[in-house]
Structure 1
């Protein structure tokens, strides 16, 4: 199965001192930057377009197309903002990338910023991961010292500054417009669009917001070409990507593979399910993506395959749950997170997620009443699609998909607590003292 792996971003993760500039340069680092600075910016944009690199942060929007939306005739400065506020439950790909090879991101920023005529770029990193912030800061310092950042980079006349900014721990700041508000020093809340960030983003200026993995993929495209990138993946979802496997599998971790690999293949790469247990359900892209079941094991893990199954690829955060898991309890935990992280700006999200939690707690305790499943779905119908951002939609997706696939488990909550049907200690990954409920 190892021939399924395509280590590009993760190739150097296991090497000694992989985060150091000297090690990165020894493996061809900053070669793409040197090539890019000899090209016309529009040619770089077209190269990424031709490669069909799609955003790796969740939505899958074509990266080169997003760059082309920046109006070059706008007299305001252009900004590039890297969204490193990784906080979707189950998502854990950007943090190891930034820890192991931060210069991959720094080089990607230089190339991408040059392509959009940007001279100031920001890395908005989750504030809790202080070790990652320090490693990014060190990499940026090394790049400045080497002449890869600052004034007149390598004598080309191009100037670029990179600022590493620590966020304040709000999940909502992963939404790009809330991130921009936070970066400007305001409370992180989603903005009404239009205008879109490409026209009026950071400081009301043209701004591109890209995910860490998206930007980190750019140097490899410059080095190897669009055809090489398109040789991997499926018809509409090209290239390599990082799949994060966690939960009830023997060897959880990051697996870099072509777009379109199946979950069955990924589980095999992860050593298989826990002994004596079978897959019950999984999230294809974190807790905000509708859950799927064993019938979807052989679907391609790409944007089109997941959409056809009624879900989303998202951040490729594959949380694997076996037959010991209570769907009711899992759904409650997901929605508790969204209730807590709601910024409170929108009434449907602020109030609706609270009511979802109250009702789900009754299902978990076995005290729900006949008809409460329909009430649960009715609340979801009054939340989804009625908020400024996708946080509310994520909470709704967790509930509606769970009910769609496991309605009988929710109906069992009319009379039996979830912890009796599925003793929680059996699904625990780690032994815990006391009452695990």
Structure 2
């Protein structure tokens, strides 16, 4: 796109937002228009929509083509083809379902502990045997809700999971549990006191990068501006991770209190909860919780601290979990990453200072300010304070969420879950999703700790663990990862957009000139070195290791075909 036109489009999007007092986004209006038409828009409708949002027709068309939810069949069965569900048999059940109803592939529904999983057209979750035994996917019937994961705590005390295990989603339940008490106490103190407490406690973001929460908040608070924003990142998309979904559904008021504390600390008066569309129950629960909090006078222009919170649903883009791509989505643009600096804390949403924290990070905050920095810092290690919610998929004997203190080893975590399901030996585990790390048994003694893992070249990511048992088809796993890259690359970086396609061709074409492993490895190197964001920078690493360790089984037709 022409740079001057790109800036003009962004300016139009920001003016549109300001005209509607922060309650509308061009992307939401496009989404609404498509929903009303039950599908695609014709040329005249595109022209009218372009006029309404004040953007060129080409921009509106580019938005529609980018987001999967805007060009996929509306009344479709969404089948999870994320790594964990693929390992559970999603590839085998999909052809049967496609004969019964229109189907669309998505990459994570947050039910990795009981896969395979799918969402029907009424947003009911179908999992495991229900999915294999379904006889009419086109006409969904009422079913019991999908089971919540087991939630255990191996830490000295539970922090992030203390309410999630008991499904405290109503306002009355939350009040009885003490939610909002930390916020009310903090209103009597200086906002900077919250930031100082977080800095002293040593909390780090749980979204993968591990950046200091206190430093991020301080940077935002000290940036000169007439307006600031807070965004709760609920676009958890790493296959194998589901803690954010559970918190949004079972502890929505805990999430809101974390947002309130952040807004008060940095001086923001508007907040957004960005939730992936594959989490419909989380969206419903958060909408209900926000409404109840407004009714109670805790939110709104007349509240003790005036804060407005709204929900922005994701549109089916994995890369929008990256903070700058998410900002673009909210502004009504394609979810492509931005060049940094400037960082969002200085120039984020609509060019204003913005804190973007993931859901787990925000839920921790109330406990930190209530118990004090020293109490929190006493948990975990000196380098990585506090606890972390680790998610274990269906491949373990005891799948679910385990809250641990930083410092526990991967081996101890696996042993606490009883090893692999069905007593099968584990060959490896995937930590942190496709952008994470492939860990063999000789690496399982590494501590769950940002510094220890960084020294070993290991990515913690969101803390999801996917079990790779003996008998895993590694060729299928490699194909799935490459298809994931093809589908989810935002397309801004050419090597990331085209490289995975060429790698998949090399994998599937026996006539590829030269050693196929070498061809794929070289392509991965180009993607890794030339990508702007973590998606292209980190995904090649576990794929490269898969090729090195299991290359014989990947390229030998005798294995797993």
Aligned residues: 410
2:404 corresponds to:
257
1:291 is displaced (CA, Å) by: 0.6
* RMSD (CA atoms): 1.9
TM-score, normalised with respect to structure 2: 0.70
* Change beyond 3 A, Cα 1:212–1:391: same
1:403 is displaced (CA, Å) by: 2.5
2:364 corresponds to:
217
1:428 corresponds to:
none
Moved more, 126-135 or 3-12: 3-12
Q: Structure 2 unaligned runs (5+)?
A: 1-151
Alpha-carbon separation, structure 2, partners of 1:264 and 1:113: 39
1:118 is displaced (CA, Å) by: 0.6
TM-score, normalised with respect to structure 1: 0.89
1:339 corresponds to:
486
Alpha-carbon separation, structure 1, partners of 2:508 and 2:366: 48
1:427 corresponds to:
none
Alignment of 1:18-417 (within 5 A): 18-70=168-220, 72=222, 74-154=224-304, 158-362=305-509, 371-410=515-554, 413=555, 416-417=556-557
Alpha-carbon separation, structure 2, partners of 1:128 and 1:275: 29
Alpha-carbon separation, structure 2, partners of 1:5 and 1:209: 29
Alpha-carbon separation, structure 1, partners of 2:226 and 2:277: 29
* Change beyond 3 A, Cα 1:50–1:330: same
- Report SS of the residue matched to 1:385: helix
| Contact residue 232 and residue 240 of structure 1 kept, 8 A | yes
* Change beyond 3 A, Cα 1:309–1:367: farther
- Report SS of the residue matched to 1:391: helix
Alpha-carbon separation, structure 1, partners of 2:427 and 2:379: 30
| Contact residue 6 and residue 240 of structure 1 kept, 8 A | no
1:38 is displaced (CA, Å) by: 1.3
Alpha-carbon separation, structure 2, partners of 1:201 and 1:113: 15
Alpha-carbon separation, structure 2, partners of 1:247 and 1:371: 35
1:194 is displaced (CA, Å) by: 2.1
* Change beyond 3 A, Cα 1:18–1:2: closer
Residue by residue over 1:276-302, the C-alpha shift from the partner in whole angstroms, topping out at 9 and shown as x without a partner, is 421111122112112110111221112
